[in-house]
């Protein structure tokens, strides 16, 4: 099923061509003056120069061809050469009825499915998720869902940090605290315990303590570096501890990501790329991609067209140690081998843009990644407090993500109990869904690259551009449909349930619904969940205006009433599909 704007454009293009003009001048856009018309075509203004004709003359010729078209209620040429378009209500109703019948509302899935790896989440093991992990998880999850909905094969990878000095610090601190553990007995040859010698709470305290201590005790830091070296070279006891750290951490991470309704297809780790590093370095050397710079092994990635300094991509330090660059390149090698992706998208803090520019250039220049593989860095902005600075707890610390989720759920629960009578248990269950909608919509409604202010009072509001407002609209529709079903005993949706209309608020609602396919494709092409947020806010507003102006349940004309029910069920289904793509769901009541 074609996008509605494509259907309109086709008619205009044919009209331009019929009058001897290039059909490309017939491209239609949404009107920037919705008070005057619904769509517009400015092609006559562009064509005027090419054909040495006044734009209004060209516009009038095109309009003359289309004045009998059943697609348009009104089409007119306006000085100096705009073509203003309003759709015929019958055409619009037919389009919506077709959406109702079609799978995915008629969205045409791609005929050329791509394999896309999305790298998002990126937490380090042995540390709790904090607010800094929110955006990567929420944005990445939504983009994964949008890409799948568009018909692509998507692989979401959490990409855990598990292989650096932090592991050595944890092992060293454990040895200091529990020196009698069997893992530190070099003569031990038996099986190691299945049970970890620490809980997640202990583990989360051990790392920051070790990290802080290492800053003022150089001998401790050296010991941690040595422990890291031994781990990375297969020390049995350290490997067993490392596996405990992983298992305990991943169990906790999964629990917290589940609260965010975020999931991953792969729980890959930095360490998974390690086996690929030796061959990769040998390949880079043998093919003369590398050079030595102050003892370090580097690849030059600067290009002649650069207007800013792009440093070389370092592969090995002067002491032979690997870096994040090395691991990320090896991870690309692993992904190429395992999945042969057409695209790899990284959802990362925008402050890492230069780093990824270096790594991407290095991967392409050295042919570690095929030339036609699209590498995308989607840098996101910071979540700030009302003071405009990165969001902190009241005492100035970094807030755990679990605590942030609980705080917003509690605020929603309190608000619900103040305004309506409901059993406490039900209210708590609902508040989790509403709280998640508030949190995710509050984040995703902003363009990913922009910073935004986390304002809990605004985010949990049931009015305005918020997640709870969208959910409340869905719940309102559910309530209307339930009352209609109760009074009539059934709901019948026929092939032509939605009827033409001359009611302005109904036409506005129908127009908004018809834009669904266009919005989803644009959101996919631009990796832009905020487009979906903007769309469903406008759709919810259009529905609520229609609802307040028309008494659906009290309507005596049964044919009209049935048409309205068919229309609002379509609106409900579109809204529910969109929030599913954003990563949250609506309760049955609020």
> Mean pLDDT over residues 69-98, rounded?
97
Decide if pLDDT at 393 tops 90: no
Kindly tell me the burial class for residue 477, based on how many C-beta atoms sit within 10 Å of its own C-beta (0-12, 13-18, 19 or more).
buried
Q: Are strands 313-316 and 296-299 parallel, antiparallel or unpaired?
A: antiparallel
For the residues 565-575, what does the mean pLDDT come to?
A: 98
Give which of 457, 459, 481, 466 is closest to 589, Cα–Cα: 481
Q: How is residue 40 annotated by DSSP?
A: E
Give 130's strand partners. Answer: 400
Q: Show the tokens assigned to 364.
A: 């392409």
Inform me whether the pLDDT recorded for 396 exceeds 80. Answer: no
Q: What is the dihedral of CA 465, 466, 469, 475, to 10 degrees?
A: 130
419 has pLDDT over 90? no
Tokens of 354: 């230069």
Mean pLDDT of 567-589: 97
> Which of 46-60, 290-304, 417-431, 542-556 shows the lowest per-residue confidence on average (mean pLDDT)?
417-431
Under the banding of pLDDT at 50, 70 and 90, the label for residue 559 is very high
Residue/partner pairs of 62-67 with CB below 8 Å, 24 or more apart = 62/12, 62/15, 62/16, 62/19, 62/21, 62/26, 65/15, 65/18, 65/19, 66/11, 66/12, 66/15
pLDDT bracket for residue 41 (50, 70, 90): very high
Strand order in the sheet with 296-299: 291-293, 296-299, 313-316
Cβ pair 279, 337 in contact under 8 A:
no
Span 433-487, pLDDT tens digits = 999 999 999 999 999 999 999 999 999 999 999 999 999 999 999 999 999 999 9
Helical residues (DSSP H) of 196-276, grouped into ranges: 200-216, 218-232, 236-259
pLDDT at residue 489 in the model? 82
Per-domain residue ranges of the chain: 4-87, 165-259, 386-590
505 falls in which pLDDT band (50, 70, 90)? very high
pLDDT at 395 over 80: no
Task: List pLDDT tens digits, range 371-385.
Answer: 999 999 999 999 999
Task: Indicate the fold that domain 386-590 takes in CATH.
Answer: Isoleucyl-tRNA Synthetase; Domain 1 (1.10.730)
- The H or E element that residue 296 is part of is strand 296-299
Q: Are 519 and 535 in contact (CB under 8 A)?
A: yes
DSSP string of 92-149, one letter each residue: HHHHHHHHHHSGGGG----SSPPEEEEE---PBTTS--BGGGHHHHHHHHHHHHHHHH
Confidence (pLDDT) at 81: 97
Answer whether residue 310 shows pLDDT above 90: yes
- Tell me the fold of 4-87: Gyrase A; domain 2 (3.30.1360)
Element (H, E) at 50: helix 43-51
Q: Radius of gyration (Cα) for the chain, nearest Å?
A: 29
pLDDT in tens, 111-142: 899 999 999 999 999 988 999 999 999 999 99
Whole-angstrom distance, CA of residue 484 vs CA of residue 12: 41
Sheet arrangement for strand 115-119: 153-157, 115-119, 343-349, 374-380
- Report the percentage of the chain scoring pLDDT > 70: 100
Segment 543-550 shows an average pLDDT of 98
Per-residue pLDDT tens for 212-237? Answer: 999 999 999 999 999 999 998 899 99
Q: Are strands 115-119 and 153-157 parallel, antiparallel or unpaired?
A: parallel
If pLDDT is split at 50, 70 and 90, which confidence band does 390 have?
Answer: confident
* Percentage of residues in the chain having pLDDT higher than 90: 91
Mean pLDDT of all residues in the chain?
95
Fill in the DSSP letter of residue 192: P
Confidence class for position 388, pLDDT limits 50, 70, 90: confident
DSSP E strands in 5-121: the ranges are 29-30, 39-41, 72-78, 82-87, 115-119
Q: DSSP letter at 420?
A: S
Position 426 confidence tier, pLDDT thresholds 50, 70, 90: very high
Work out the pLDDT band at 302, boundaries 50, 70, 90.
very high
- In whole angstroms, give the CA distance from residue 202 to residue 252: 13
Burial annotation 448-466 (CB, 10 A radius, 16+ → b, else e): beeebebebeebbbbeebb
Q: What is the pLDDT of residue 394?
A: 73
* Pair of tokens at residue 341: 């992706």
Tracing tokens 């947020």 back to the chain, one arrives at 533
Give the pLDDT of residue 16: 98
Q: 483-501 pLDDT, tens per residue? A: 999 998 888 877 889 999 9
CB contact at 8 A, 583 and 142: yes
Predicted confidence at residue 209, as pLDDT, reads 95
User: Considering the entire predicted model, what is its pTM?
Assistant: 0.94
In angstroms, the CA 307 to CA 75 distance is: 48
């Amino acid at each position: 099923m074609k996008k509605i704007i494509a259907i309109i454009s086709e008619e205009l293009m044919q009209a331009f061509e019929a009058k001897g003009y290039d059909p490309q001048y017939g491209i239609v856009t949404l009107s920037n003056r919705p008070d005057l018309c619904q769509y517009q075509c400015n092609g006559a203004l562009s064509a005027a120069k090419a054909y040495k004709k006044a734009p209004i003359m060209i516009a009038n010729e095109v309009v003359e061809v289309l004045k009998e078209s059943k697609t348009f209620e009104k089409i007119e040429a306006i000085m100096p050469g705009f073509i203003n378009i309003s759709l015929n209500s019958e055409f619009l109703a037919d389009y919506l009825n077709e959406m109702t019948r079609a799978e995915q509302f008629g969205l045409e899935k791609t005929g050329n499915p791509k394999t896309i790896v999305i790298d998002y989440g990126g937490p380090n093991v042995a540390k709790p998720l904090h607010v800094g992990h929110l955006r990567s998880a929420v944005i990445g999850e939504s983009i994964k869902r949008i890409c799948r909905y568009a018909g692509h094969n998507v692989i979401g990878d959490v990409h855990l940090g598990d292989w650096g000095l932090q592991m050595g610090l944890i092992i060293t601190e454990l040895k200091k605290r529990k020196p009698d553990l069997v893992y530190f007995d070099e003569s031990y040859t038996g099986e190691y315990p299945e049970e970890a010698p620490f809980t997640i709470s202990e583990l989360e305290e051990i790392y920051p303590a070790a990290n802080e201590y290492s800053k003022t005790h150089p001998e401790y830091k050296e010991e941690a570096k040595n422990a890291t070296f031994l781990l990375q070279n297969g020390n049995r006891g350290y490997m067993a501890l490392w596996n405990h750290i992983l298992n305990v951490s991943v169990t906790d991470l999964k629990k917290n990501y589940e609260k965010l309704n975020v999931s991953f297809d792969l729980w890959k780790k930095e360490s998974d790329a390690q086996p690929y590093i030796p061959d990769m370095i040998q390949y880079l050397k043998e093919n003369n991609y590398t050079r030595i710079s102050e003892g370090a092994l580097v690849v030059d990635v600067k290009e002649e067209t650069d207007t800013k300094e792009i440093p070389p991509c370092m592969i090995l330090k002067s002491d032979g140690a690997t870096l994040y660059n090395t691991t990320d390149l090896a991870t690309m090698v692993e992904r190429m081998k395992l999945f042969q992706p057409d695209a790899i998208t990284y959802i990362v803090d925008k402050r890492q843009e230069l780093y990824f520019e270096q790594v991407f250039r290095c991967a392409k220049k050295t042919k570690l990644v095929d030339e036609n593989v699209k590498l995308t860095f989607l840098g996101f902005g910071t979540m700030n407090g009302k003071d405009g600075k990165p969001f902190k707890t009241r005492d100035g610390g970094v807030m755990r993500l679990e605590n942030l989720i609980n705080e917003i759920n509690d605020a929603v629960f309190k608000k619900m109990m103040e305004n309506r009578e409901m059993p406490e248990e039900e209210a708590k269950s609902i508040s989790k869904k509403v709280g998640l909608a508030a949190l995710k919509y509050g984040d995703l409604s902003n363009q990913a690259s922009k910073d935004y202010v986390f304002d809990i009072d605004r985010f949990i509001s049931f009015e305005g551009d918020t997640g709870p407002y969208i959910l409340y609209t869905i719940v309102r529709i559910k309530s209307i449909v339930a009352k209609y079903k109760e009074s009539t005993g059934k709901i019948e949706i026929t092939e032509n349930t939605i009827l033409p209309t001359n009611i302005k608020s109904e036409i506005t609602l129908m127009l908004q619904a018809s834009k669904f396919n266009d919005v989803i494709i644009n959101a996919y092409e631009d990796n832009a969940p905020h487009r979906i947020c903007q769309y469903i806010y406008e759709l919810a507003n259009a529905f609520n205006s229609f609802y307040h102006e028309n008494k659906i349940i009290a309507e005596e004309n049964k044919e009209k009433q049935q048409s309205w029910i068919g229309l609002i069920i379509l609106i409900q289904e579109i809204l529910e599909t969109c929030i599913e793509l954003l990563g949250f769901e609506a309760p049955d009541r609020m």
